[in-house]
Structure 1
Amino acid sequence: MPRRKQQRPEIQHIPELISHIGAFLDPPSLSTCIRVSRLWHNTLLPLLYNSLDDNTCSWPEIFTHLLPSKRWNPGDWTEDFIRAVLHKHGGLIRHLTVRWALFNNAVSAASEFEDGSCTKLQSLKIFGTNRSAKFLEQTCFNTWWNQDKSTWDQVEPLLSPLFAGPFRPIIHSTKFWSQQDWITFQRFWMLVYNNRSTLQRLRLDTSIGRMKDLTEEFYDILASCPRLTYLENYYQPLDLEHLLDRMPQLHHFVDHFALLNRGALSKPMPQLQTLHLNGKLSTHSLFLLLKHLPNLDQLYIGWNFVDFSERPGPIMGDTKSRLTGLHFLLDSSKTADEYIATSILPWLPNLRELTLSHLGPCTASAIPVHCQSFESFKQLVTSSSIHPSYHMGTIDNTISILLESCPNLKSIDAIQHILQANYFISYLPTWPCVKTLEHLRCQIRGISRLADADQEFTYRQALINVMIDQPLTPNQKKARDIYDFGHVVQQPLLFARLAQLTNLKVLDLGMEYRKINAAYGRSKPYYKVGAKRYVEYGGPLPDTLELTLASGLDKLKTLKKLEVFGFEGCNHRIGHEELEWMVEAWPRLKEMRGLQPVRLHCLERDISTERLNRYIRKLKPDIKHRRYPPPTVK
């Protein structure tokens, strides 16, 4: 391009651009450059700063350089640098996640300027972190509220008259530390207050510093956020009824404390749609919530059902709940099975989702009777392995009641529940949910399989004797009968039944199968291979499906929508031929569970699985290999 001879007056207000490239471009080229720069700025910067988490990207490194021990060589990263970034781009931030006190204070300070910086937040989440003592000054909210506390009579400094009186902090250590946390505390609430017109989601954490008393001024700040519909409380116990009185706009409330501060509700609160209570709840409180929250859609609660004498009739009257999802977050006892079936489910005609630690036969039988639109059962997994030494607390074939009786069933996520192979032989009708079921995660057990290498050798000898017309020994007859029953009778029926589930997206038949605590006992079950010593964790479960083409795997070619296939813990005998078939038959397959690397103390390498993993990666590199993620209820 020709050298620029004269600068236009209208672009003199862009000194950075002029100083860097103005001397190398003529006016038309410079004008084009400015327009392109503005387009990039207006398009990409809002995307870049829309969501900001101060514990990702380079932010932790920046804050680490600002610690007292690093201040002698901060480089380009200074507090002025952070302020400059926030003043320039803070107005673009919509979703903010904070873990560093320094950043909390900087964002709050930026929100006080009249340039609109950091005043358009739609969601604000605060998390506490545990770090070593030398990090406390700048990196975390130093509030150990479980220690002895006393009121700090002379709170200073005050950053706003808002905190003069009602917001009384709790002192927990030296005055210096308390003042530091008092500043962080004020900064956080000022940030909430300055974003009150736009804030829609808020997560409170105890690390910002607890107050001695939750006065009306605390609820005033929350009530001043007209668009705040989602509140997550890790802060301190709140009065649920008073909170809902002050926040008619609140639709979703998550509370992580043991008990509601003043029990359940005493009057109708129509606004709440989702209630998540991690604490234990009595049956009496449960029925009061169902009665006074008429528009409640999802309820997540702990479990404290020790008194099963409470009946819903006197509380509920003739009113049935509109609840569509009920999720118990703690392990439930078998005694509760009948109570759920007779005293809870009849009041939930619209129930579609249920989460329990195990599904009992009474509950399973009551679901199709009282909840005719039922779609999903999720098991709250209570063990980290399906090894036989871990107590599952489930009854075989219970989930078959749902498969047989719920025509709208979409998902069964219950890996500790077992369908026995004999069930598939005895139950011949087609499941009514074959066209709706999308997610099936359970164990299929009881397959007749040869027990070990010796029995397999005996079976091969039997085949040879049959070919040469020689009589079979008793052991050979036994091995042949075991093999034939599994491969000729059981597995064809099993694969044929699974092949009917043409809308299936997830088929997962196992999970971690080892005795994972074997290495931590007093007498560790070691064995040696050459000079190396390994822990005996146990092998795959012997009575599971053989997932080979010879056993009928190709019948599952009808599962064209399958995206996730899991077989960890199955004695699957998958080889290269089966992997090639899967890639071709299931074009949407994007995740496999069973060939991923496993790391346990003194665990012998599984060379066969490693080879299969490498081969499938060559066939289809985009397939992810991982274990089923840790169980969560959302």
Structure 2
Amino acid sequence: MTTQHEALEIPEILRRISTYLPGPDFTSCLQTCHSFHTILTPLLYNQLTLVQKEEKRPTLEALARYAHLVGALKFEHFMSAEYLNVGFKGLYSIHIVHMIRSREFQVGTDEEIMDALLRIIRENPALRKWTLHNPWPRLSSKVWKELSSLKKNPTQGGSDQRQQLAVQSRGCDVLDLTSITVTHDAKHWFLRACADARELRILDVSFMVAGGNPDNCQLFLQLDKRPPQGRRVEIVEFHGYDVIHQLTFLSHLVEARHISWTSPAAGRMPIQTRPLPTLEDLKQFIKPTTWPKLRSLDLTGIPGRQLVRFSDECISHILGCLPDSQLEEFKLQGSTFGPLSAAELKRQLSCLQDLRLEPAGIQEQSALIQEVMESCPKLKVLRAGMISVGHMRRGKPWVCHGLKELAVQIDLESDRDGAVVDKEVDYDTVYFEKHAASRRYVFERLSKLTELVELDTSLPYYGHGDLTYYLLSNRYQSPYWTLEYQIPYGLDQLASLKKLEKLKWSNNHQRIYKEDLAWMADNLPSLKTICAEFDRNATKHKEMAAFLLEKGITVGAHRYR
């Protein structure tokens, strides 16, 4: 037995052990094995993954014995009608992922698999979570219909109570969809299932286009009579369901706590049958009574792929329709965040916990960032453009002492009453000393944020929009414009950041020395990663990176965020 490596089941293991054990010891061994089997089997089968290779998944006979123990079932690049029909009764979650659309690892016809899925839905009333990632074969209209809660009430006379409960509880609470193609005949029931889900995530979903005029899905959904039930809704790249219809859908989410919607028309091949939403459209759909319970709003698009931008007036209107002091998270990218939006956001500062803004101007956003940091005691995450030392000096002390993630560029030029453009300052001693004092002041302010886990002062870079910070950095290629992480400039004041795990900065002709890195390794006990360039010379950079690796700190090349 010691020289063979066989996959043995418990009966065979016991038979072989029994040849070496006396009776009493064998009885004790049997009792121990039974206890282990009783305890471990439910844990083993509670979450089951079925994969392509036959030797890595249980046999049909073994699974049939323990199917009642399975709660979360996952098919990974494999689908089988036989396995679906083994008799699952206690499923609460099903996950189907099939990265390659091929019938090579499909057991059973499309019809047999769809019938098996229908049986799964009907026999597992607790099955409320569906995660579908490029499922193959495509789900039929009957399956989508069963996933919706739009059902007729069961007959009362002579009906079994358990059967009534099963019928009433059908539907889907959590629907997570990635890379889904919906057939034309399944389109309506697919949308109904999406509307009835309490948690909905849509990433890269498209409809197969059929001949003739498009169906009036809005009329079928009857959103006024049966509004969407979503509490948490994320829509990213929804092809074939135009933006106005998406906006109509979102405007009926009266129970929503979290809404995430990419910039309209973001995607490879958006299909638009109506014009993109204007301020007038938003005023029609989004009103003060639209999202009374909303806590989180994410309008983050896909970087580099936005095809339209909401104006400052549009963002201002959306924020203006939210109740005061209720929004905890706000994320915006791909649209304009200007003074009108900033004025509306100020109504939420007392409860804001997560704020992520695309850079939209140095001075305009700098004043807002300073006001956020001096007015948001609950703030945990702040990612934005720039904050100037001038606004920091003129502002109040920061109150966001629980901040865990901070990603802002520090503007040192403003501390000398105006930026320096096209001026040789490399050997200006007075200028040098002034900015050395500015750096020490910034490090002193940062040292008060003792809960920081990630600090990022790298130069933000976005490849779209009116302002590109990459081009701006070329104008200010001076070591005095950026925050240098050196001990003479106050780096040692960051010794209070005992929880800091990740540190990022841009190079911008920055001069970092080995003693500075040694100080970081010795005085920042939680530091695990530094993303930066330590020297413009590649050889010197590699030497210092190797030094950090010896200290247990990984290094990532990162110049812009």
Distance 1:428 1:184, change over 3 A: same
Cα deviation, 1:542-584, whole Å, max 9, x if unaligned, reads: 5321101111111112223323222254655333333332234
Corresponding position: 1:220 with 2:146? yes
**Bigger Cα Rg:** 1
Corresponding position: 1:139 with 2:140? no
Q: Give the one of 402, 405, 410 matched to 1:439.
A: 405
- Uncovered stretches (5+) of structure 1, i.e. residues with no partner: 1-12, 64-76, 142-178, 381-391, 450-473, 516-536, 597-603
Q: Give the one of 349, 368, 379 matched to 1:410.
A: 379
Cα distance between partner residues in 1 of 2:28 and 2:356 = 58
**Paired position in structure 1 for 2:432:** 483
Cα distance between partner residues in 1 of 2:425 and 2:407 = 36
Corresponding position: 1:273 with 2:231? yes
- Uncovered stretches (5+) of structure 2, i.e. residues with no partner: 1-8, 150-166, 208-215, 265-275, 416-422, 464-473
Corresponding position: 1:129 with 2:99? yes
Cα deviation, 1:400-433, whole Å, max 9, x if unaligned, reads: 4144144235244536x223444435x3421233
Which residue identity is paired with 2:392? F
The structural deviation recorded for 1:325 is 0.8
Pairing 1:560-579 to 2, within 5 Å after superposition: 560-569=498-507, 571-579=509-517
Distance 1:181 1:314, change over 3 A: closer
**Paired position in structure 2 for 1:500:** 448
Which residue identity is paired with 1:487? A
Q: Under a length normalisation based on structure 2, what TM-score does the superposition of the two structures give? A: 0.70
The structural deviation recorded for 1:206 is 5.6
Q: Report the 3-state secondary structure (helix = DSSP H, G, I; strand = E; otherwise coil) of the residue aligned with 1:300.
A: strand
Cα deviation, 1:13-37, whole Å, max 9, x if unaligned, reads: 9742442100111233223323443
The structural deviation recorded for 1:344 is 3.8
Which residue identity is paired with 1:33? C
Cα distance between partner residues in 2 of 1:31 and 1:323 = 62
Contact 1:240 1:261 in 2 (8 A): no
Q: Give the one of 124, 128, 138 matched to 1:200.
A: 128
Distance 1:576 1:315, change over 3 A: closer
**Paired position in structure 2 for 1:398:** 365
Which residue identity is paired with 1:367? L
Pairing 1:195-344 to 2, within 5 Å after superposition: 196-204=124-132, 207-210=135-138, 214=141, 218-220=144-146, 222-223=148-149, 224=167, 226=170, 228-233=172-177, 234-236=180-182, 237-238=187-188, 242-243=192-193, 247=196, 250-256=197-203, 257=205, 261-262=217-218, 265-267=223-225, 269=227, 271-278=229-236, 279=238, 286=247, 289-290=250-251, 292-304=252-264, 306-310=277-281, 312=283, 316=287, 321-330=292-301, 331=306, 336-344=311-319
Q: Give the one of 567, 576, 580 matched to 2:518.
A: 580
Paired residues in the alignment total: 475
**Paired position in structure 2 for 1:20:** 16
**Paired position in structure 2 for 1:389:** none
**Paired position in structure 2 for 1:165:** none
The structural deviation recorded for 1:319 is 6.7
Q: Under a length normalisation based on structure 1, what TM-score does the superposition of the two structures give? A: 0.63
Cα distance between partner residues in 2 of 1:475 and 1:541 = 9
Cα distance between partner residues in 1 of 2:308 and 2:532 = 31
The structural deviation recorded for 1:491 is 0.5
The structural deviation recorded for 1:496 is 1.6
The structural deviation recorded for 1:624 is 5.0
Contact 2:147 2:172 in 1 (8 A): no
The structural deviation recorded for 1:202 is 0.3
Cα distance between partner residues in 1 of 2:41 and 2:366 = 51
Corresponding position: 1:556 with 2:526? no
Cα distance between partner residues in 2 of 1:348 and 1:378 = 20
Q: Report the 3-state secondary structure (helix = DSSP H, G, I; strand = E; otherwise coil) of the residue aligned with 2:488.
A: coil
Cα distance between partner residues in 2 of 1:25 and 1:283 = 75
Cα deviation, 1:341-385, whole Å, max 9, x if unaligned, reads: 1354333432111121154333223211256422211247xxxxx
Cα deviation, 1:206-226, whole Å, max 9, x if unaligned, reads: 6433467x35x7423554554
Cα distance between partner residues in 2 of 1:182 and 1:373 = 52
